[in-house]
Amino acid sequence: MDANDPDAKAQATRRPGSVIEATAPDVSEATIAPAMLDTASLFGGRSEIRLLHRGQEYRLRVTRQGKLILTK
């Protein structure tokens, strides 16, 4: 971990299940690579999480077979 990298420091101190505030950089969307999130850290030991997208709540859950299901 680079001590001067604020993203690396934030990831090192982030707890599983904590809310991540997203800020939009002043960069064209065409030049930004998609974010890669590890489901183990996203779920934090849970089998289901709730997502808020454009004011709508969605449920993302892991099945017994390890597959992901997204429902509104």
Q: Domain locations in the chain?
A: 6-71
Burial status of residue 72 (CB atoms within 10 A of its CB: 0-12, 13-18, 19 or more):
exposed
pLDDT for the residue numbered 31: 79
Burial status of residue 40 (CB atoms within 10 A of its CB: 0-12, 13-18, 19 or more):
exposed
Give the single-character DSSP code of 29.
G
- Whether pLDDT at 1 is above 50: no
**Average pLDDT of the chain, as a whole number:** 79
Predicted TM-score (pTM) above 0.85:
no
Instruction: Give CATH superfamily name and number for 6-71.
Output: Complement Module, domain 1 (2.10.70.10)
